[in-house]
Structure 1
């Protein structure tokens, strides 16, 4: 039989998975920073970028709160961070981890491309995605008047009118924060009462810059095409279905975030909302050798700089774990 015989090819064993010291799942500030630190520690990390290389900053336009840059485009910052990680020696792969087995050691990862790899330590940096309203007009104006992060983009609305959509703590906090910049903040909530804590509600109702529109939902975001920008929103009453339009220069959607924890949902301890639990003051998860950083575990700050800091912590935690593992094996 020839080497090309189909029967032989079919019976050929699958190649052994690559073995790594450190596997980083996900990119963005947390993943790329972890890659920089792990590479500098000579751990030869491999970073699998995921479905959105660079994370949420790739859909952010201007960033003015990244230390050292008075202003930088989000996608440009991610390109620079990726280049930095590569320059330090990290291997970066354009692929998506579809299965992660943390039940045995070394840990096993399988990718969308068919690639398989094992690792002594895993750093999870898969992030979280803002929940959106699901409107075509919302998608059109994302980054051009529609945002899900007041602390990221509020500065651009000095002296302008903005809308905040939501009724929980996040929405109230964002509305109050935006009063530092905007001339008027309108909170739109689809019910007749807020879910936010009472003390937060009291601050909201007492603020002279904030109006609340009850029993209403945003059904369309209006705007200009050239240049691209928001001019207002169409609201529909949840009680009688009537519609109205209000003017605004920006719309902030604050209806929560969804952490990308599907890979580990039944394998790691999670907190409320699906965020990965970590030991206080560290990035160590409930499984030794597995670390989590960035928005995957952070439902409070959700900033690029805090994610990067956690990525640094995760790499250092992984380095310490692997050193102890090597010592135990010796």
Structure 2
């Protein structure tokens, strides 16, 4: 767990898991192994023996008025048969959060940068009394991208469900499980705000759409006391994409649009000197970026924020 400050904003990292996640060649299909092995600073924190090394983590942002969670990980006890690493996982995230000084009732805002399984899992918890999933943070407002709700909600019947070139039936089946246990209970509770475009959460915090990874993928910008950061979710999975920003991950639903969003956000971060804070960077977890040829280079924040 690491803490740092940006002006008057405090940021806390709560790490659920870190390690080899997937074959690097599968994660970013456009890149050769050489791009990984020659990537400055990738091994061993981000690349190891042909594998992409990543992390599951939540960023806690406190602006003096509210406590904000940026993404909520995988969740415990979830049925994720197509993703063995997530299937019926027991990671004890709420305990980790409390050890960091954040009780569930302390959380004012939950930001889901998008509605994939590893970003919404702890939106909810299992309640033995009702034998059902209920919001894990009883006092929180959950900010859900409207475009993602429309895309993933089974009741919305998005045309991509039956498109010949769309995701397959197995993928939709798992997404439906995610929606049922981690999104629908929040909608039913009345705690959700569906948003589009951009929305200001406070003087220092702004949510902005950056579509491509999913239709409603978003970033959270922090601007306080002359210091800036951008929490980019899955806009960037690995630092290899900093050097090759046109290359999207295998999880991006619209790779071309994702690349456009990635380049735009990274270019602005380089210009403003903003700290780039992705959802899945292992090691230091965050970096400042600067232009380097057609891409960007990372100046690692070790410890984060230094």
**TM-score of the superposition, structure 1-length normalised?**
0.27
* Higher normalized strand content (fraction of residues): 2
Larger radius of gyration: 1
Between the two structures, name the one with larger relative contact order (CA 8 Å, sep ≥ 6). Answer: 1
